[in-house]
Structure 1
């Protein structure tokens, strides 16, 4: 989702200016209705909605006019494909509470400065997170439940070598060699030092992901948890000079 979709109208499809066009995406379990805007006499644009799985859906171009019934102008197939941000979000969600899997953030730390690319990573991963089917009992501090979907080590997973974000490519290429199911997840005492998804988000300066996790069960509780180095997400934000993050965590 979140990409621009362009619709070209044929001569037969062109109608009066007061006609409103919109697209209806019909998947196996989710349906989306997206408004469009005219960018030319024969061109419409919209933003593709996020979807819950990779599949081919049916898209209807519909038109409406005040006082008249809605009618279908055209229909076409549209394919939602697996992308690197979805893979990263799925891995993180299934790794909540898994200490060995969460420790890979040290690898990212050693890979050099994150630069402005972190904003793209932050935005894409949060968008993907919002469209994951998280179990009702999912918790930032960990859950025994796993998410439906492909294992990152599944040879059937379609991997792209031309990723647009270098940092996202680094994250996903590293995750490719890991699966949260490869590491046993043991319950920890409430006061035991451990990594959390909140530590991960703060360590990389992911403001949007941090805010997203704060809204989830266990998000606020993660703020007071120390890792093996004695750092909480709050102290990490302060130590790394992430002032907006620190303000978000302490307000």
Structure 2
């Protein structure tokens, strides 16, 4: 199995292709996964079929800089687990991650000239910084913020004191997605209204710099017409983290601590359950949307009132050609809506039940026959 990249940033969020030397005939109702095994953490992601020899997935973020074993495996509805091939990637710290760290650490010390100093430090132009917006956001999302971190710096209770904030810096750099990330953090919404020493709020700067869409986003936020979203969602359990990434095709990632794992099959079933629960929520949400779009008669309106709450996102489902048993090169992503939800308690219960049933141990991962001889 040959991977399309071997050195990846520690925050992940890059697409990776796995190419095999030979095609493989797959049984019906099979699911494909990538397994990333490090010294302390392992990750499970679903794989998408591109053609008869190629799989695609999203590389997850990792806890430390190290070499990690990457394996592609298939899991059938009869609970048969087989390894298709293995390779390695190396997690590194890139310039984007260093830039994100500088931004996060400078939250209480920025000035009106901080953005220029940042560009000079990393040898960037405004245009180059804007091209890194998504990566900077992914890197910042991967950084664990201190509990006391606040976008308003050292004076979170005195939000109207004029001073430059990190949100001002993000707007000066034209970082649309990073600005959205900051709005989701403590002090984020309040920072939209804070003027700097020059009397300019982030809205004013966005207008001055021609960032009309960002200015409108700020105004909609202040008028409670939208809820800020980073494009990332995490559910924390007792022994795992489930992450949903909404930038590009929606991706689900399960992260486990190696010392608390019992079996790869239990991990896969936990990820499956998480995706299924989201699909069930989507089905209910879609039905509710249809009700809201339907205009009832006066009598119907008087007899029934429906109300629904939630923030809608897009979630894809992968398809394979199950009739032939081959990889389907046309397999694609179908978008469906879903409601942002936290299901940590129910997933913990499911995961514990899986562990209690004794579904196997990690040896199943190494002992299954290699069915892709050219991998």
Identify whether the pair has TM-score above 0.5, normalized to the shorter chain: yes
Partner of 1:16: 26
Aligned to 2:170: 201
Mapped pair 1:243 → 2:212: yes
Alpha-carbon displacement from aligned partner over 1:112-166 (angstroms, at most 9, x marks no partner): 9734x454221110011111111232211236xxxxxxxxxxxxxxxxxxxxxxx
Question: Aligned equivalents of 1:17 and 1:103: distance in 2?
Answer: 61
Which of structures 1 and 2 has the bigger CA Rg? 2
The answer to whether the aligner puts 1:48 opposite 2:59 as a matched pair is yes
Residue 80 of structure 1 corresponds to which residue in structure 2?
Answer: 91
Quote the residue 2:199 is aligned against: 230
Count of residue pairs the alignment pairs up:
206
Cα displacement (A) at 1:198:
0.4
C-alpha distance in 2, partners of 1:199/1:219? Answer: 11
The equivalent residue for 2:328 is none
Query: Would you say the 8 A contact 2:152–2:159 is kept in 1?
Result: no
Q: Which residue of 1 aligns with 2:126?
A: 114
Q: Which residue of 2 aligns with 1:151?
A: none
Higher relative contact order (CA 8 A, sep 6+): 2
- The separation in 1 between residues aligned to 2:210 and 2:24, in whole angstroms, is 55
For residue 194 of structure 1, give the secondary structure of its aligned residue in structure 2.
Answer: coil
Aligned CA-pair RMSD: 3.0
Displacement of 1:108 in angstroms is 6.4
CA contact (8 A) 1:2 1:48 kept: yes
> Partners in 2 of 1:70 and 1:88 — Cα distance?
41
Q: Distance in 2 between matches of 1:216 and 1:78?
A: 32
Where 1:46 maps in the other structure, the secondary structure is strand
Q: Secondary structure at the match of 2:34?
A: strand
Contact 1:55 1:79 in 2 (8 A): yes
- Structure 1 unaligned spans of 5+: 144-185
**Secondary structure in 2 matching 1:87:** helix
d(CA) in 2 for partners of 1:112, 1:136:
31
CA distance in 2, matches of 1:56, 1:109: 31
**Equivalent of 2:152, from 141, 153, 159?**
141
| Structure 1 Cα separation of the partners of residues 184 and 193 of structure 2 | 16
Secondary structure in structure 1 of the residue aligned to 2:101: helix
Return the offset for 1:188: 10
Separation of aligned partners in 2, 1:113 and 1:78 = 31
Partner of 2:103: 92
Q: Deviations over 1:79-115 (max 9, x none)?
A: 1111121111111111111136x73213468999734
CA drift of 1:57 comes to: 2.0
For the 8 Å contact 2:130–2:173, the answer to whether it is kept is no
1:225 is displaced (CA, Å) by 2.0
- Correspondence for 1:105 among 104, 115, 121: 115
Closer, same or farther: CA 29–195 of 1 in aligned 2, 3 Å: farther
